[in-house]
Chain A
Amino acid sequence: MFISDIRKEFYEVVANQRVALLVSSDIDALCACKILQALFHCDQVQYTLVPVTGWQDLGTAFLEHKEQFRYFVLINCGANVDLLEMLQPDDDSIFFICDTHRPVDVVNVYNDTQIKLLIKQDDDLGVPSYDDIFRDEEDEGDDSGNESDGGSEPSGKRRRFDEGAVERRIERQRERREWEARRREILFDYEQYEYHGTSAAMMFFELAWVLTKDTKDMLWWAIIGLTDQWVHDKITHMKYVTDIATMQRHVSRHNHRNEDEENSLSIDCMRISFEYDLRLTLYQHWTLYESICNSCYTSCSFKLWTLNGQKKLQEFLADMGLPLKQVRQKFNSMDMTIKENLRDVIEESSNKYGMKDIRIQTFGVHFGFKNRFLASDMVHATAALLESTEKDESDSDNFIKALDSLSRSNLDRLHSGIELAKKKLIAIQQTVASCICTNLILSQGPFLYCYLMEGTPDVKLFSKPMALTLLCKYLLKAFVHSTRNKRCKLLPLIMAAPKDVEKGTVIVVGIPPESETSDKKNFFGRAFEKASESTSSRTLHDNFDTSIIELKTEDRSKFLDALITLLS
C-alpha cells in the first residue's frame, strides 16, 4: 500500500526499533541512504546497512537478517516484483520500499499489511484498479456444485430447472473468461514498459524536511540523486526540469536563512547555488579541450570520430577566440579573463554550430577556497568508484568507497573518483569511435545490435551495468548522428559485452530509441524474459533493472534470433 503520511506511517513507526537497510548499488540509492542515515543518527535509531547488487543478493541478505529484524527498508529495489512471494517472509516482517523502478507490482500496491511503499500515489503510476485484477473466489463453489448436480439426475422438471441453471453457469463462465482476458490485457499493458519515477533521495529529503531536520548536506545529496537520474538518462527532460524547480525552492530557502548583511558565512561553510552551466562533463576538473572531446553532447554534435569533426572543433575554438594553449590547460589554471564569460561565449558559438542545449540547469556546491563541484561531477565520480574494476575489490567494497566519497570530509576519495571517471569517459569515447568507424553496429530488423569482443581495450570497464548502459546511450546518440538511414534512427539498441570470462557469460543491455521527446520507457525487460523462455537460454535476470541480463556466450545467437522474431 502507498503511504500517505511519511512521518507518521514510516518514521515514527521505526523510530524506536532496529531497522535493516537494504540498499541497491546506484547513486540515487546511495544518496537516499546517506540522508536516511543522517536522520537515524539524529534520532539514535539503531540500524544495519547491507549493500545489495541484485535479486539474489537481496534474498541472501534477507535470509541472514530476518531473525534479528522486523523492519526492513529497501532503497531502489523491490517494488517491481512480487516481494512477498520472492522472499517468503514471516507474517510480522514489514517492508518499507522506496524505489524508483516502475511499474510497481500490483501485489505490492494492494497488500495492506506487510508492504508499505514510500512512493507518492500520483507519481506517474497508472496502477490498474483493484477490481480489474483481483476477484473473490466465492463464485467457484456455486459453479462446481451445480455441475456435479446437473450430471446425475435428469428428470423432466429437474431438467428444465437444470437448463436454467446450466445457462446461468455458462453465462458466468463466459463472464469469467472475459474478465480474465481483460485482466491479462490490463496487466500486460501495465507491465510492458519499464521506467523510473521520482528519485529516492528526493523522497527522503522530503521526509527530512517534514521533520524539519533537513540540512544542507542532505539537500546536496538529494540534488546528486536527482542528477544521477538525469546523467544516466532515467527520467524525461520535463520531469528533470520540474524536479529541479522543486529543489531550487529548497536551495533558496536554505540560502536565504543564512546570508544576510551582518553575519555572512565563513568561506568554509557549504554553499549550494543554482547554476545554468555547460553540459561539458567534468570540465572544471579537467582541461576544457578534453572535456569537449569526451562529453557525449559535444562529441556527437561535432562527430569527433571523423576528421571533419576534428576540423570543426578547431574552427569552433577559433570562433570563440580561445587559444589552443589555454584550452589544453587545466581549467583551474586557465586565464581569468577567459574563464569569466566562458559560459556565454560557448553558448553563443554553440548556437552557430547547431548545439542549442549546451547549457543545462543544475546545482553546484562550494566549500573552502578550492572545493567547487557541480552535481554532475559528483555523480560521475561516485559512479566510477561504485563500478571500479580494480582487482580484489568486491562489490560491497566499492559500495563502501562510493558511500564514503559522498561525505564532505572524504575529499581525496572524491578526487580519486574524478580521476577514475575521466578514464571511464575517455574509454567510452574511444569505444564509441571505434564502433562507429568499424561499423560494429548492425541493424537486426527491429533493433540495432552491437557486440564488444573480448580483446577490445577497456572492455573490463563495460562488464558493469551502469558503465555499459552509459556506453550504450552514447553509442546510440553517435550512431543517430552519423547514419544516413532514416529508419535506423528510430530503432532501439541492444549491446552485449563480456562479463565474466571464466564463467563464459556476457552482459546484455537494451535501451529505447533515441529521440528528443522520448519518454524513456523500456520494453526490453519483458522481451528478454520471453526470448529466454522460448529458447531456454541460460540467462540470469539478477539486476533490479529488468533490461539488463547476464547470458551464456554460447546462447547468444539463438537468444538474438528469438528476440528478432518476437519484436518484428
Chain B
Amino acid sequence: MFCEKAIELIRELQRMSDGQLPAFNEDGLRQVLQEMEALYEQNQSDVNEAKSEGRAELIPSIKLRHCCLLRNQRCIRPSLRIRALRWEYGSVLPPNIRFHMCAEELQWFGQYKKSLASFMRSLGGEEGLDITQDMKPPKSLYIEVRCLKDHGEFEIDDGTVILLKKNSQHFLPRWKCEQLIRQGVLEHVVS
C-alpha cells in the first residue's frame, strides 16, 4: 500500500527511547521520495488526461494520490525529529545525537535555532524573554528552595553570594535555581 515506508520511518523514531535519535535512514528516505515522485507523475498524467478528455472518474484516484503525497511529506519532515531537540537540550546538541543527523538536518537545525532566537529577542522589551526556560508560564518570580546537601557558595545575578548548607531554606529567583534543582542540590518547597 502507499505510504507504508513513511510509516516505518516514524515507527523507527518512536521505537527509540526518549532523547535519542536513530541513525539517519537515508535509504528509507530515498524510497519514500521515490514513491512520492512516482505518485506525482501518475497524478500529473491523470490530471492532463482528465482535463483534455473530461474523464471525471479519474478524479477520486487523483485525490487519493494527492493525499498520499501530502502524508509522505508530513512524515518525512525534518522538524519531526529535530525541533523538539532544541527545546530539550538547548542550543548545543550533545555529540551522540549529532552523530546520527545528516548534514542537511544540521543545517536545518541551525536555521531553526536562529529563527527561535530572533523571535525570543523580539518579545519582552529590551532583553528579550527566554521562553525555553519554562514549559508553562511560571506562577511566581521567586521560589522557596531547600538545600539537600552542602553545596558551598552560590552566586546569583546581582553578585551576592549565598551559602548553601544542608537543611537551610532560601527564597531565590526562579531561573537561578532551576539548574540546581535538576542536579538535586536544591528542592522546591511547595507549601
Contact = CB atoms under 8 A, between A and B. Distances in A.
Interface stretch (A114-122, A347-355, A396-404): A396-404
Contact of B169 (A18, A49, A397): A49
Nearest to B143: A41
Contacts of A410: 191
B165 A40 contact: no
B170 A49 contact: yes
Interface stretch (A61-69, A95-103, A173-181): A61-69
B191 A409 contact: yes
A361 interface: no
Interface string A427-450: 000000000000000000000000
B169 A48 contact: yes
Interface residues of B, number: 20
A64 B171 contact: no
Interface string B158-190: 001111011111111100000000000000001
B167 A400 contact: yes
B144 interface: yes
Given A37-B144, A46-B142, A400-B146, A64 B169 contact: no
A410 B189 CA distance: 11
Contacts of A68: 160-163
A46 B171 contact: yes
Interface string A29-65: 0000000010011001111111100000000000011
B171 A47 contact: yes
A41 B167 contact: no
B162 A44 contact: no
Given A18-B160, A68-B160, A68-B161, A397 B167 contact: yes
A67 B161 contact: yes
Interface in A393-424: 394, 396-397, 399-400, 404, 407, 409-410
Nearest to B172: A46
B177 to A, nearest CB: 12
Which size bracket describes the interface of A in this complex?
Answer: 20 to 34
Nearest to B191: A407
B144 A399 contact: no
B167 A45 contact: no
A238 to B, nearest CB: 35
B141 interface: yes
A495 to B, nearest CB: 30
A67 B159 CA distance: 12
Nearest to A69: B160
Nearest to A217: B191
Contacts of A48: 162-163, 168-171
A404 B140 CA distance: 21
Of B163, B169, B172, B190, which is in contact with the most chain A CB atoms at under 10 Å from its CB?
Answer: B169
Given A407-B191, A409-B190, A50 B144 contact: no
Nearest to A51: B167
B167 A40 contact: no
Of B141, B142, B163, B173, which is in contact with the most chain A CB atoms at under 10 Å from its CB?
Answer: B163
Given A68-B160, A407-B191, A50 B165 contact: yes
A399 B162 contact: no
B175 to A, nearest CB: 14
B180 to A, nearest CB: 14
Contacts of B160: 18, 68
Contacts of B173: 46
Contacts of A37: 144, 171
A19 to B, nearest CB: 9
Contact of B168 (A41, A46, A50, A394): A50
Contact of B163 (A40, A41, A64, A396): A64
Contacts of A394: 166-167
Contacts of A407: 191
B191 A49 contact: no
A236 B104 CA distance: 81
Contacts of B144: 37, 41
Interface in B44-66: none
Given A51-B168, A409-B191, 14 more contacts: A41-B144, A44-B171, A46-B170, A48-B169, A48-B171, A49-B168, A49-B169, A49-B170, A67-B161, A68-B160, A394-B167, A397-B167, A400-B167, A400-B169
Interface of A: 18, 37, 40-41, 44-51, 64-65, 67-68, 394, 396-397, 399-400, 404, 407, 409-410
17 contacts: A18-B160, A37-B171, A44-B140, A46-B142, A46-B170, A46-B173, A48-B168, A49-B169, A68-B160, A68-B161, A68-B163, A394-B167, A396-B167, A400-B167, A404-B191, A407-B191, A409-B191
Interface of B: 140-142, 144, 146, 160-163, 165-173, 190-191
Q: Which 3 A-B pairs have the closest CB atoms?
A: A396-B167, A49-B169, A407-B191
